[in-house]
A and B are shown apart, each in its own frame.
Chain A
């Protein structure tokens, strides 16, 4: 396999495409709304209308606008159909043949939800067939790997990633190039690459969507990373809750192996790289890197103190590079288009784009990818279409590790530093919009219950502290708390934040601290006036 072979596959794939192509979303969001039945019905309709010679139905990954699913898009330059029902499919096919307008609701891809996006990570999502490697190759896939292996020294690759300014998309925003350089410098007989696909933050589904829509993109990023740091074995650690992502990854790994894009002597170079899947078993804490490593080793997912960092001593004591799905998905474009192209996007300290999952009380739910630094208001009000029949009260970012950003701060640009200043975090990219009917003490309690249940139990501040914070919050919502309880709540949150062993405990108090900061009245009201209403639908 070399570049010509790749180009040949791409050419063949493009040549086999039929004049009219209907793309059906087959990611989990649309599938759960009968997306599969829609795809089958379309195929049946094409066969019935005897149009198979010029119309094809392609299952693709996520198109983003989950709230309008199942989505069907006609290429080239055709309509975008929303909330398609299987019984509407015949009329859609008939309309292609001049049979009058389709009996399905037509959406527009010229709305801010789509037009304000800047897809890099998601550029293939909803376009290519995630179950065919040829489809990825036709979109230029694996060329970046070829360029890296054949035209760049490992140090050049690290350098390129460093210059791009890419920062880890898993939440903390550690400079990716620096992490790679650390692993690359370690002298060891073995090194590992780990892709953290244990996307546990409730309200976040970016990684799921990327894996379901464009799995090869992630594998290619991992392979480039492996080459850059000198690793030969990789693991993708995926949540067990994502069966579709797991099956598509399995397919992708098999296909890549069969084509020689994973395995030994890739692109006829001395570079070997093998990827295995590891399926998580329902433990949020395994998103923490040292816990994740223990889990890959078949143990209880309890974190350990760092240093040593995994880059120094990771899997089985060997240097290990851990990045998350979205980080790896950024690698191939950076290698292809160059670090300058990438670093021109975004803000001074936060380069590139970020994928966000919009959910909650918002008109358009789904996935968007915007340049770093895009104001929260643009995302929530313009692209998301605001709250249906209501007002934005707060936007929760970063899941149980993040905080609630009040509407007054909607003009904040979304980047690592700005969100941290507001007491929240970028996190992996979940954004839950809340309206006036949501009680913020209830929201804080919801997150604390989550952290309490997900605490591994190893360190005392997190194990006993989260349980105690939850107990105090319950007293508050039940109207049994005193102002002394609020004082205990605050000091305990500070202690758990400072004294916990890992990121779970260190960030668990954030939802409480941020709501205490922005919505002290709601806490006070519970103390003065008795029980608070649970957040209602």
Chain B
């Protein structure tokens, strides 16, 4: 029962689309997406997809900008952004390893792969190594059950994986700084 207030460090006034350099092309592209959807409130999820693709993650200021543009209450935007696991409010690491935890992968030992990477990176699933190199995530069945266990390494689906092989791969990321 803590008496602290859970809140992000950053707060910005509602409707404040501040801090967007007019030269930032990404805002223009986001604007184009919203325009294509005629700034309709019900395009919120589509717009958040685009925003995350452009910016990598959804910062509070960015969410406020979207809320303002689509005329959706800020609390609803935040509620939607945190309801769906695809959206990330924190920056991801340089590399990502996504371990499928679908049933087929589970019975073929995916949890051992997760445990191995957690041990290697000293992080839990859903976290990024402190140096920002690697994010570890688990997925709800990526539909590659035929080749379980499946692991997505920087966007590439790989099948029939073992803890050792994935550890070796991730070691490469942690090691050489590329």
Contact = CB atoms under 8 A, between A and B. Distances in A.
Tell whether any CB of A sits under 8 Å from a CB of B in the complex: yes
Interface of A: 28-29, 31-33, 66-67, 69, 199-205, 208-209, 239-242, 278-284, 295-301, 316, 357-361, 365-367, 396, 399, 430, 432, 434, 438, 443, 446-447, 450, 454, 456, 534-537
A283 B146 contact: no
Nearest to B150: A32
Interface string B16-53: 00000000000000000000000011111110110000
A31 B79 CA distance: 36
A399 B103 contact: yes
Given A298-B72, A432-B104, 8 more contacts: A29-B147, A241-B139, A241-B140, A281-B84, A298-B41, A300-B79, A432-B145, A434-B107
B45 A202 contact: no
B145 A297 contact: no
Nearest to A279: B49
B54 interface: no
Contacts, number: 158
Contacts of A316: 42
A536 B101 CA distance: 14
A402 to B, nearest CB: 10
B142 interface: yes
22 contacts: A32-B159, A33-B147, A33-B160, A202-B101, A202-B105, A202-B145, A205-B141, A205-B143, A205-B145, A239-B143, A280-B86, A282-B86, A296-B42, A298-B44, A299-B42, A299-B80, A359-B103, A360-B145, A360-B148, A365-B145, A432-B107, A434-B107
B129 interface: no
Chain B contact-residue range equals: 35 or more
A417 B106 CA distance: 28
Contact of B148 (A278, A359, A443, A536): A359
A316 to B, nearest CB: 8
Nearest to B113: A537
A240 B88 CA distance: 14
A535 B111 CA distance: 10
- 8 smallest CB-CB distances across A and B, nearest first, come from A66-B146, A537-B109, A281-B84, A202-B102, A359-B104, A359-B145, A202-B141, A205-B143
Interface string B78-92: 011001111100000
B106 A202 contact: yes
A202 B144 CA distance: 10
A240 B87 CA distance: 11
A278 B158 CA distance: 26
A32 B148 contact: no
A279 B46 contact: yes
A265 to B, nearest CB: 24
Contacts of B44: 298-299
Nearest to B108: A537
A335 B44 CA distance: 37
A360 B104 contact: yes
